[in-house]
């Protein structure tokens, strides 16, 4: 009789305690999973003056914005000791230049170059529908990023910060180059740039429910 009681107690222990232990382990694993972040970069200001070209789109003096969203888990597709090139998926960049608006439908590039005088942030986007290629170059304060940005993209500091226009097509400063109808134009750009990051939502483990003990 005593042996039967012992066996029954053991079965109850296994049925109740072990699932609870597994459930707790599942929670610990979920909690240990690193969170991911979405980086948002916003560049806005005024285009001009014309530094080279004929400006067939008539953008001189018009407002312009570039909005970028990218995962901070991205790894560079190309890098050097001081620069990193990230390939962004379709839809990651939205561009407004005057009355022209489009969202990328193909992969685009984000290039970060760390120098002693400025941290240079460049976006290269293509609107294949209209045969338009835009290169947006922004000179941020030196030290806006640490070297960690060469492994994964991240926010720059301070944010926001002032963006100053270039005075020549090949000189330092912010500028926008676009090619359309076989013509290339370079415009200065002045305004501000900001960046932020938000934590992506963490979905509950779909396996947790099966370990809950009903009352």
* Interval 27-77: pLDDT, tens: 333 333 446 899 999 999 999 999 999 999 999 999 999 999 999 999 999
125 or 22: which leads in pLDDT: 125
Q: CB within 8 A of 170, min separation 6: which ones?
A: none
Domain segments of the chain as ranges: 2-33, 37-198
Question: Residue 21 pLDDT more than 70?
Answer: no
What is the Cα–Cα distance from 39 to 36, expressed in whole angstroms?
10
pLDDT band at 202 (very low <50, low <70, confident <90, very high): low
pLDDT at residue 96, rounded to an integer: 92
> 3-state DSSP call for residue 42?
strand
First-to-final CA distance of the chain: 30
> 3-state DSSP call for residue 32?
helix
142-165 per-position pLDDT tens digit: 999 999 999 999 999 999 999 999
pLDDT at residue 57, rounded to an integer: 93
């Amino acid at each position: 009789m005593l042996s039967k009681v012992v066996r029954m107690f053991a079965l109850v222990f296994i049925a109740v305690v072990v699932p609870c232990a597994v459930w707790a382990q599942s929670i610990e694993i979920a909690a240990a999973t690193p969170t991911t972040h979405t980086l948002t970069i916003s560049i806005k200001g005024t285009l001009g003056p014309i530094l080279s070209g004929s400006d067939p789109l008539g953008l001189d003096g018009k407002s312009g914005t570039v909005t970028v969203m990218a995962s901070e888990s991205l790894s560079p597709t190309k890098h050097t000791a001081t620069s990193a090139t990230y390939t962004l998926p379709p839809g990651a960049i939205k561009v407004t230049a005057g009355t022209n608006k489009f969202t990328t439908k193909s992969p685009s590039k984000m290039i970060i170059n760390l120098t002693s005088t400025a941290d240079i942030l460049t976006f290269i986007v293509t609107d294949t529908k209209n045969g338009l290629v835009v290169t947006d170059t922004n000179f941020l304060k030196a030290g806006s990023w640490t070297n960690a940005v060469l492994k994964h993209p991240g926010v720059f500091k301070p944010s926001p910060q002032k963006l100053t226009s270039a005075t020549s097509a090949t000189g330092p400063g912010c500028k926008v180059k676009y090619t359309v109808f076989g013509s290339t134009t370079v415009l200065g750009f002045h305004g501000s740039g900001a960046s932020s990051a938000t934590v992506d939502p963490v979905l509950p483990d779909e396996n947790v429910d099966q370990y809950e003990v009903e009352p």
